[in-house]
Structure 1
Amino acid sequence: MLWLSLLTAASALRVVVATPIAKFGDFAVKHAWAESPQGWELHSDAPADHILSLRIGLKQSRIEELKAHLLEVSDPFHSRYGQHLSKEEVEDFVKPRPESVELVESWLIAHGIDPESAITRSPAGDWLNLRVPVSLVEKMLDTKYNVFRHRESENLVVRTMSYSLPRELHDHVQVITPTTMFGGLRGMKKTSFLNPKPAPESLIEGTPFAGQAGQAVPTSCNNAVTTSCLQALYGTTNYVPTATANNSIGIAGYLEEFANAADLQTFLKKFRPAAAGATFPVVEINGGLNTQSDPGVEANLDIQTTVGLTFPTPNTYFSTGGSPPFIADSNTPTDTNEPYDQWVAFILAQTHIPGVISTSYGDDEQTVPLDFAESVCNSFAQVGARGTSLLFSSGDDGVGAGNCLTNDGTNKKLFQPNFPASCPFVTTVGGTTKVNPEVAVSFSGGGFSRVFAQPSYQASAVKTFLTALGKTNAGLFNTTGRAYPDVAAQGNNFQIVVGGSIESVGGTSASCPTVSSVIALLNDFRLSNGKSTLGFLNPLLYANPSALNDITSGSNPGCGTNGFTARAGWDPVTGLGSPNFPKLQTVALAAP
């Protein structure tokens, strides 16, 4: 049976004496789609008694002040560099204004919802969580919910093509979910893929070999990338972490992907013998899974890469739910949550979080509603302000996959940036391949946001690139948008273990945990020298481009074009280049 037994409206909410609804009758559209997001199609009407786990994000009172603080503590030339905020200090910046809370509560009461008994709140009070039947949400948001089907996976979700709010609430409510956000489920893409066949055993180097950044790396690494290849290529072979009591790295996983502990041991015995026996805790968020059966290629790639490179630094895998069936709640048979939103809310509620977190998932930016994108990106700024580096893969479609037509009804052909890669408060990682020298890998995602403005920390580097580019690809991208990637690393022919067997994997999913691991080692180095974690990385990286290995050849075709071409300095294929750990150590130590 498609729909399981559902709670009734009466059991989901405690009805209270309502303020007249007429007070909130003047609606204005908050967000609307011109057509169903790519990959999704209308299936049926949503049952009126289906229960939605509604999340209301209130406008944060001092979010712009928090962003200014973030840039100050991330600027190596500022006197406040490294002075990260505590959990409580961040929450003070983002708590909503009292008048926002009062007005939204009045609106809820007008619909018979008791704010005291029916709502749970985030620690800062900027998120309200409640369970509401579709019939009532449709009245609250002046909309119609439907069941949509994802063509590829055939999964079903309850969403709406548009939603509205009373005009007097627009200045007080940032976003409401689930509404028009489709891409956070099966539409969300993991940025990895299996190569047709593993590399020949003769090319797989299992025994660690010495190497420093800039020195020759064995030619076998051209076709089979192992932990030893990465250590040699980026200069971490001889570094031994010592601040393991205070330092850690996290890996964010979605789409029912989880890392297999037995496969990790097989991998370590083969490729990092000194780390054999290393384990990692799994934190399950929003119904995330960890059954240890049918291991995920993406998850295994992430955890095997990070443990192999950072041992004995503690690793944590975050398994975040958000793909049907929604096992954690029998009253919600189809998914009603957006994983990025759920994941970052969980992270911000923790007192202690890892110093660096790697995420190898993304969506086409145009499939993400503006209100949702801004809300999530602002949350990432909060994480950065607390001293954690957030890294995201840039995607595996070059400048865009498919026909690259816009979804606003105009069907205009444009390069298609990715989100969260396009958020200005994360560090985005592109891909390279080959050694001696490294070159850009053709699928490396890169480009310019059509949502977020270009931040000051990268303005000079991007201007230099655009000047050299001239009129190439003119009109296909937003020259004033946030440009990405910021850095890059190897992204093809990674040798990992899946189900007990060695597989060859590619994608910027490999690049992201690689760079994240280098950052974790840099955090270890700073902590062991009495300094703070690096936190938000971009201002430091753009101020010190010579601390990375510049990649000057290769391109990222897409959208029926040759895309962009790597060149000296920053470019939207490989960013500033790949890590050079010894040089980055010098930069990290010099920073306050």
Structure 2
Amino acid sequence: MQLLQFVLFGVLAVEVAAVPFPSNHVLHERRLDAPKAWIKRDRVAESALFPVRIGMTQSNLDKGHDLLMDVSKHGSPKYGKHYSPQEVAEIFAPMQSSVDAVHDWLSSAGIAGEKISQSTNKQWMQFDASAFDLETLLNTKYHIYEHTETGKLTVACDEYHVPAYIQEHVDYITPGTKLVAPFKKTNEDPELRKRIFGVTSGQKLPPLLKDLGMTVEALLAVPELQACGTVVTPACIKALYQVPIGSKADPSNALGIFEDLGDVYSQEDLNLFFATFAQSIPQGTGPKLEAIDGATAPDAVLQAGAESDLDFQVSFPLIYPQGTVLFQTDDPVYEADYVYEGFLNNFLDALDGSYCSTVDPLDPPYPDPSNATGAYKGALQCGVYTPTNVISISYGGQEVDLPIAYQRRQCTEFMKLGMQGVSVVLASGDSGVAGPAGDGSSNGCLGTGKIFSPDFPANCPYITTVGSTTLPAGGNATDDAETSTTRFPSGGGFSNIYATPDYQQTAVSSYLTNSPPPYDSYSTTDNGAIGANGGIYNKGGRGYPDVSAVGDNIVIYNKGAPTLIGGTSASAPIFASILTLINEERLAAGKSTIGFVNPTLYAHPEAFHDITVGSNPGCNTTGFAAAKGWDPVSGLGTPIYPSLLEVFMSL
């Protein structure tokens, strides 16, 4: 009810002349199908008041890809000559012509000029309007939608229109077409935007957690590296990828880790893990907290989140004495009953004030308007933290659940981070070729239930997406026996929004030619022809993952006890740690950070163990198959640290 109450808030409506729908309007955004978890209810009352926000098109976006490639391609004379945050902001600020065009359109439609304002970051035009006036302005109809599982209500339209001459100046408008299921804290709902499943009612352990199967004493009694096929320890990871002991402690080179959804690490768990498996790390060692919008950390041991515990327990032993930075978002009051649809925006806001918008209704408002004890009463934090050189993210959802313009706006922000020398590493998901089940369909697939559903933001071409591998029982860390994971299918596939980027064209083409999937395909961008001609995957899309790392049977301490955990949530911080070590060596040699690494990775497949066994089933199929070279199961393969270091040190 929270959003509906906000929409009906008693504020004077803006007076807009009720005029017939202009003939020069064109379709700007349309939702293909409402997710099955939503039921369309009544039309919104004509007098209901909407906070209208128009995201204006940033300038030079058509040049952004080339600008990023100039500083990221291994053969470019500009390699490593990254941009400052100020330079990036100036390059992409909306053009004055866009600001003027949108303002003139609204004024000509009858909205009083004093009612229209531009956000402080220049990217949003904002005003309030009644449902009747906004429907007239955009030639649309707004309905109340009810989420069947939670009873939560939201307001959306199926499509909306703008004048043809305005379309090039507008990214997207809210309220708009977006319908995303509300999500809860980790221990309440198994279908989260996480890569580690939460505990469901009646279960002692989540699906990707399992008992250690032996005492810690028995494990430690096994000769080092011989039990890696059963239990993966820090020593196993180092041996698998030939990672040396860290030697430097450059304060400018801490690894950044993003956490959300109320999942918070426990220092007691870290201490237990260090004492058992990484004794060179002093007790009390933990991440530096960069709290975003009222977030808190660490948590009491019995409340500790498995995701956050995992991220730090796999990364610290690889990078120490380098440090970590925890970007923890959102205050506990919001996390207890999270009904807002935004994802990652608050984090990006905190890093880039030019991206930040205090008026986007898709995200939690700050100061928190509630009277709940502990509610964060500070302003939304904009541009308050410096991004670390490498950032690891282990959260995501279905591409189809989010408006294309919303995704593109965030993906552009990751492109900007790459231009500044930041590497963003993301877990590819644990559902194979499907998305998380429950919102789009019962099996997380599209259309008839057999069309593959790509992940967001794994689909973004400016992120390094990481799949997961496993060692077979009895395998060790030195026999190159990794396969794709079998206890859960590693996420992988092809985006329906983004075309295959130039840096992976050769690799993707080779896979489709030499190891063609046994399914009909289609070719689209912007969700234009999903399932055309009976196809179930987009052969023309951005392929993911880019790389892989071990992601199952990882031993951690959680809630004070040792256990095994699995998920691409383990793989992402492992690969991010390896990039952090490479930056450590480059910085010591007076070189720049490596920034966006994908072009260099695809140019050097010899720096990876090629994973050729396994698949990622889903959508009533066996999914894609691992193959020689890049594939949409394991990407280029798992890293060989000395080889990757040699490549990047030569640049």
Q: Which amino acid aligns with 2:346?
A: Q
Distance change (3 Å), C-alpha of 1:158 and 1:517 = farther
Provide, for residues 163-195 of structure 1, a one-character-per-residue CA deviation record: whole Å limited to 9, x for no partner. Answer: 333443211011234533334852752112334
Contact 1:184 1:340 in 2 (8 A): no
The match for 1:214 is: none
Contact 1:156 1:334 in 2 (8 A): no
The match for 1:387 is: 421
Provide, for residues 235-265 of structure 1, a one-character-per-residue CA deviation record: whole Å limited to 9, x for no partner. Answer: 22423233x2211221222323233333333
What TM-score, normalized to structure 2?
0.78
Distance change (3 Å), C-alpha of 1:141 and 1:268 = farther
Residue from 341, 345, 352 that aligns with 2:349? 345
Distance change (3 Å), C-alpha of 1:306 and 1:23 = farther
Count how many residue pairs are aligned between Structure 1 and Structure 2: 570
SS at match of 1:398: coil
Between stretches 163-172 and 149-158, larger displacement belongs to: 149-158
The match for 1:406 is: 446
SS at match of 2:397: strand
- Within-5 A mapping of 1:309-388: 309-321=318-330, 325=334, 335-349=339-353, 350=383, 352-388=386-422
Residue from 179, 183, 203 that aligns with 1:182? 179
SS at match of 2:623: coil
List gaps (5 residues or longer) in structure 2: 184-190, 198-205, 354-382, 436-441, 522-535
Q: Which amino acid aligns with 2:210?
A: K
Residue from 513, 529, 546 that aligns with 1:486? 546
Q: Does 1:170 align with 2:136?
A: no
The match for 1:198 is: 211
SS at match of 2:325: strand
Contact 2:35 2:179 in 1 (8 A): yes
Distance change (3 Å), C-alpha of 1:263 and 1:89 = same
Between stretches 270-279 and 398-407, larger displacement belongs to: 398-407
The match for 2:55 is: 57
Provide, for residues 51-98 of structure 1, a one-character-per-residue CA deviation record: whole Å limited to 9, x for no partner. Answer: 866553211110122210101111011111111111111112211111
Q: Which amino acid aligns with 1:121?
A: T
Q: Which amino acid aligns with 1:295?
A: A
RMSD between aligned residues: 3.5
* Displacement after TM superposition at 1:323 (Å): 10
Distance change (3 Å), C-alpha of 1:506 and 1:203 = same
CA distance in 2, matches of 1:337, 1:52: 16
SS at match of 2:602: helix
Contact 1:105 1:115 in 2 (8 A): no
* Displacement after TM superposition at 1:152 (Å): 4.7
- Within-5 A mapping of 1:54-453: 55-107=53-105, 110-112=110-112, 114=114, 119-122=118-121, 125-128=122-125, 141-152=138-149, 155-177=152-174, 179-183=176-180, 185-186=182-183, 189-193=193-197, 194=206, 195=208, 197-202=210-215, 218-242=225-249, 244-275=250-281, 276-286=283-293, 288=295, 290=297, 292=299, 294-321=303-330, 325=334, 335-349=339-353, 350=383, 352-400=386-434, 403=443, 405-406=445-446, 411=448, 413-434=450-471, 435=476, 436=479, 437-442=481-486, 443-453=489-499
Between stretches 333-342 and 415-424, larger displacement belongs to: 333-342
Contact 2:432 2:490 in 1 (8 A): yes
SS at match of 1:361: coil
Contact 1:248 1:354 in 2 (8 A): yes
* Displacement after TM superposition at 1:316 (Å): 1.9
* Displacement after TM superposition at 1:317 (Å): 1.9
What TM-score, normalized to structure 1?
0.86
SS at match of 2:494: strand
Provide, for residues 346-371 of structure 1, a one-character-per-residue CA deviation record: whole Å limited to 9, x for no partner. Answer: 32233721111111112222222222
SS at match of 1:558: coil
Between stretches 373-382 and 191-200, larger displacement belongs to: 191-200
Contact 1:278 1:312 in 2 (8 A): no
Distance change (3 Å), C-alpha of 1:338 and 1:112 = farther
- Percent of counterpart pairs with the same letter? 32
Contact 1:399 1:558 in 2 (8 A): yes
Provide, for residues 96-135 of structure 1, a one-character-per-residue CA deviation record: whole Å limited to 9, x for no partner. Answer: 111111122344554347477x55332xx23456777767
Contact 1:322 1:335 in 2 (8 A): no
Contact 2:156 2:176 in 1 (8 A): yes
CA distance in 2, matches of 1:285, 1:204: 40
SS at match of 1:104: helix
CA distance in 2, matches of 1:378, 1:220: 43
Q: Which amino acid aligns with 1:477?
A: Y
List gaps (5 residues or longer) in structure 1: 211-216, 328-332
The match for 1:564 is: 624
